[in-house]
Amino acid sequence: MHPLKTRWDQLARMRRCTQRPGPVRVRAKTGQERIRVSTGFGGLPYARMGDHGGGAYGSQYHGRLELTWTNKDQALLWSEDGTYRWVPPADYRVAEVRLLHDAGQVGEVGPASRRAADNLLIRGDALNALTSLARIPEFQREYLGKVKLAYLDPPFNTQQAFDQYDDALEHSVWLTMMRDRLVQIKRLLRTDGCVWVHLDDQEMAYCRVVMDEIFGRENFVATVAWQRRPDPRNTARHISTDHDYLIVFAKNIQDLQFHLLARTEAMDSAYANLDNDPRGPWRRSGITARNPYSLGVYPVTTPSGRVVPGPPHGTYWRFSAAKLKELDEDNRIYWGSDGRSGPYLKRFLTEVAQGRVPGSVWPPDEVGYVRNGKEEVRRLIGAVFATPKPEKLLYRVVTISTDPGDVVLDCFLGSGTTAAVAHKLGRRWVGVERSADTLTTFAIPRMEKVVAGEDPGGITSVAGWTGGGGFRILDVAPSMFAESRSAVVLADWAVNGELAEATAAQLGYEFRFDPPFCGSKGRSLLSVVDGLITSEVVELIAASLEPGERAVVCGTAVAVDADAALKAVSPGSRVRRIPASILADYRVATRRLFHTREARAAQANLDVNGSPPVSPPVESVRP
């Protein structure tokens, strides 16, 4: 017998003997890593897990059902070569809000001052881009709580290397990578929005549990199975896996509304108009039900005079005799071609739902095969992308979950299928891709052709697409910090106006250049000095404040009396030294975020200020 099974049985027996519920833990070794599935409270109803007070066992209930993994409390730093490495969450390289720099535009876009409202193609890591969309006020206004659909088709972790990207992460790294991006996506989603994560068997089950944790189990909608290939692979060792999964979660299940799919011909062909009813085609349906109904047992006389003594044994007429008479007078009851059978109800095609609820199995004749996606990209671009999805698949995802004008987000854009489909369907879109090669070889040329009306493939004809619109290309800017002699300092490019803009982004100020200020947040104004802040400097700045306003004055060096001098003339204003005070903010913010028991334990290993020992010390001046 499997050792885990034996241990489980033992625990179950102990439980039954003592009649004491309690946590059960199962440990499994997977290669180098330790994955622990904590089942929380084996044998107890799920509903009791949150029961902390009262009851015979009240004091024993703690914890929650969750998936734990190696370094779950850590963050990941990505490198241009596609690899990740573990860093503490407060590390400036992951906590920083990166600026988004203009890198080009295609077709018609709005004014530069409203660039965030255009379709956006962002080059950079998904986490950086999502953080910028959520935190920089200019983008925050357009995207925080405004995204209707997020479709994510990340590397599945198949342990292969594709031509365009590597797909072989350590399991814990993959989970952390997804968790951190999904947490940001949740913030960006509209209250009636939803997220679809496209995976295969490699990580689907684990990702589902992580999503339970992030979105709440109650917001789970369905796991769709898409049959990706027509026939099983005969070379498969045991079973040919022919489908992918799309895990669907709502931000709030009670607010989520999906559109129906178009009715099929087969569904409509069941309707005919046997009696030329002016209300059009209908189909007959029985009028008996199993639920007891006190007025549902009575004899019925058909138009031919035949008496039906009552509903079949164990069933009831669904209508009272009076209601049946009323329906018959309205020619809604069918008695058979000779008036001897029935009664049946006439269900009119015009009165049934004008669509079909999407099912959880998506067949390729409706949404395409994986090879259709490859063919669409190859025909349009003349190059082969390893893992594009067919436009028909995205057509279904986008049409059931959004309306024209809604914002669609894909932060693993690849060849640009989501952007192409969203554009052709008149949705606003944001696509993020970290490989510059993939963008320049696939996504940008593809979207240029879509905009120019030069993409005849995919869903072009079904969407009636003839071209138009446009998009902006943005680059995730480099970090505003650098390291010099093991200290964190400002990067060389972060000077003057650039320093002001980057500082405004970190502190959540709307960047607006109006000397001596460069940003505003309500009645608080930001001033950034690339140099020493003295008492004279702060007095000059304070003189520009209107009554009721206060200032945050940041400088790369601060004279000892500057803060007191500012507070003396403008109580509520303050002086901050950069980068030290920004780096301290990251530590405070991540301490708040990582408040779980595990995170606290991990933080105990940090130094007394909560700074990670691996991070270099902070210096407040340039090298």
Ligand X SMILES: C[S@@+](CC[C@H](N)C(=O)[O-])C[C@H]1O[C@@H](n2cnc3c(N)ncnc32)[C@H](O)[C@@H]1O
Please give the residue ranges that form the binding site for ligand X (CB under 6 A): 78, 125-126, 153-155, 164-165, 373, 385, 387-389, 411-412, 414-415, 417, 432-435, 438
CB 483, min distance to ligand X, A: 22
CB-based contact 518:527 (threshold 8 Å): yes
Q: Which is nearer to ligand X, 372 or 438 (CB)?
A: 438
- Which residues partner with 147 through β-bridges? 189, 407
At 376, which helix (H) or strand (E)? helix 370-381
3-state secondary structure of 112: helix
| 430-456: burial string, b at 16+ Cβ within 10 Å, e else | bbbbbbeebbebbbbbbbebbbeeebe
End-to-end CA, the chain = 64
Instruction: Print the SS3 string covering 426-465.
Output: CCEEEEEECCHHHHHHHHHHHHHHHHHCCCCCCCHHHHCC
Q: Which of 617, 606, 587 is nearest to 486 (CA)?
A: 617
Q: Are the CB atoms for 367 and 393 separated by under 8 Å?
A: yes
- How many Å apart are CA 273 and CA 348, to the nearest integer? 9
Tokens representing 362 are 């998506």
Distance CA 215, CA 196 (A): 12
Distance from C-alpha of 332 to C-alpha of 342, rounded to nearest angstrom: 12
In 3-state terms, what secondary structure has residue 560? coil
Secondary structure of residue 62 in the 3-state scheme = coil
Angle of CA points 306, 312, 313, to nearest 5°: 135
Indicate the residue whose CB is closest to ligand X: 414
Residues 6+ apart with CB under 8 A from 255: 191, 192
Task: Name the residue nearer to ligand X (CB basis): 91 or 153.
Answer: 153
